[in-house]
Structure 1
Amino acid sequence: MAMSSNREAPAGPVRRVTLVTAPFAGGALATGIAFLLFRDSFPDRVATHFTLDGTADGYSSPAAALGLYMLVFVIEAVGTIAAGFSARSALTATRSLTIFSIGLAAATAYILIAAMWTTSGSDGHTPELPLFQVPVGVVVGAAAGTAAWLITRRRA
């Protein structure tokens, strides 16, 4: 009598890369949509870097800012892919890294959108990103990661 196993076969390299990078593509898409919604309210120079106290200290043109935002998602995706291929267990690492990617992409998208929102309302003044936005971004990322974990956990 053959015994069936509920264990999944390890995902191939293309599937692993897709699973791990899809959240970053989603985060980039959400950020791009927000950029399109805010673009008419941006000043000539968009704040792209903030000090620890929340004051803007780096600026770019709106097009360059969008490029920098997308570059952040690419760097995060590449780092996560590298972590996935260096892991010993492909199945466990893929699930864990996908959940991590979902949380990181959600937190990044939230913070970038908050920065755009801050810049759009600056009206020629130095934009200030309220410091509470960073912990809120962490909570958004943790909530997204927790939701992904709950959805994907295996039932015994």
Structure 2
Amino acid sequence: MTRSVRRALIVALPFVLAWAAVLAVYAALRDRLPDPLATHIGSGGEPDGFTGPGAFLSVSTALILVPGIVAAAIAHRSRTALGAQRLLVATGYGTPAMLGYITAALLFANADVSDPAAVDFPLWHLAVSLAVAGAVGWVGRLLAGLDAPSAAGPAAGPAAGPAGPRLPLAKGEAAIWTHTIGSPVLVGAGVLTVVVGAALALASGWAGGGPLMAVGVLTAALSRCRVTVDRRGLTVAPWFAPRPRLRMPLARIDEATSREVRALDLGGWGYRMRAGRSALVLRSGDALCLRLATGKEFVVTVDDAATAAALLNTLRERVRTGPGRQG
């Protein structure tokens, strides 16, 4: 068994076990379940949402297995050891365990009830589900340690030259570089989240699926950004609005370079943070890499990063040398 396959199996394990447990409980109680089932519980512990047993099982399967498939695929392609991502793996174990417990507990609460509106589902089940998630998450953390990072650590990027690339500009000449970059992965994740949220909303009401749909819409909206280099430094903002934005002033930048990166090696898609590095990752490929005055690194994936780096170095040099400084 290859290391990548072993990683995928470790990550997928809790999702498969949670789904199998729910399926086993459903099969054991199938003849004792009402139609429809009470599937959403209000703040007082009384049912306020109902759906058929088949739809309930389908939605539960999607909620548990789809994230597991995505997580396993990412782990399979990643070259980063699970041991360096223990918190992420622990969360990945705890989440399906919590969902599996709540789903199975709902099925038991519905068993032998003639009127689903009379189902009793005490809210202490939520506390138990969190305890189960914590215990299973700890197991995931231990299993992640079996795939510890090598002593040498991840390969470092190429060393920047003493001067860095430059873009020739005449004295007093101004220049602006801008490029829009999108992420098909984040668009897909956003759409999938909206679909799952819609299914959950149909099954248990808008209170259950609405927030998930909102997260999906926000993810898709922020999946495309505009990266700009000008006399103010580097600015990254959503394609549809000037804010929210991320800005790196020239005074904070020591050197700009470019290199090829893999999204999974940076921790995945989106805004990622690790010791000594932060990154905005929208896809694998060309990336603009900034060595900051603090000694840390900031990376943003964008096409034509070499030109952006050269312009940043030229503008930064103008600011520090004084003459020719752009207002």
Range with bigger deviation, 33-42 or 46-55? 46-55
Q: Which deviates further from its counterpart, 54-63 or 95-104?
A: 95-104
1:120-131 equivalent positions in 2, closer than 5 A: 120-126=111-117, 127-131=119-123
Q: How many residues align?
A: 145
Contact 1:42–1:119 (Cα < 8 Å) also in 2: yes
Stretch of structure 1 that moved more, 122-131 or 65-74: 122-131
For the structure 1 residues 84 and 151, does the alpha-carbon distance in structure 2 shift closer, same or farther, using more than 3 Å as the test?
closer
Gaps of 5+ in 2: 147-327
Residue 53 of structure 1 aligns to a residue whose secondary structure is: coil
CA distance in 1, matches of 2:127, 2:83: 28
The answer to whether the aligner puts 1:48 opposite 2:39 as a matched pair is yes
State whether residues 16 and 94 of structure 1, in contact with CA within 8 Å, keep that contact through their aligned partners in structure 2: no
Residue ranges of structure 1 left out of the alignment (5+ in a row): 1-10
Q: Closer, same or farther in 2 for the Cα pair 1:150/1:81, shift >3 Å? A: closer
Tell me how far 1:15 sits from its aligned partner.
Answer: 4.0
Pairing of 1:87-98 with structure 2 (within 5 A): 89-92=80-83, 95-98=86-89
If the length of structure 1 is used for normalisation, what is the TM-score? 0.74
User: Quick check: 1:74 aligned with 2:65?
Assistant: yes
Partner of 2:137: 145
The structure with more radius of gyration: 2
SS of residue in 1 equivalent to 2:39: strand
Higher strand share: 2
Higher helix share: 1
Identity %: 27
The CA RMSD over aligned residues, in Å, is 3.1
Equivalent residue in structure 1 for 2:126, among 120, 130, 134? 134
2:137 maps to amino acid: G
The one-letter amino acid of 1:145's match is G
Aligned to 1:145, what secondary structure does the other structure show? helix
Query: How far 1:143 moved relative to its partner?
Result: 1.2
SS at match of 1:49: strand
Residues 29 and 111 in structure 2, CA contact (< 8 A), matched pair in contact too: yes
C-alpha distance in structure 2 between counterparts of 1:17 and 1:148, whole Å: 13
Match of 1:27 among 6, 18, 23: 18
Q: What is the TM-score with the length of structure 2 in the denominator?
A: 0.38
Preserved CA contact (<8 Å) 1:84 1:94: no
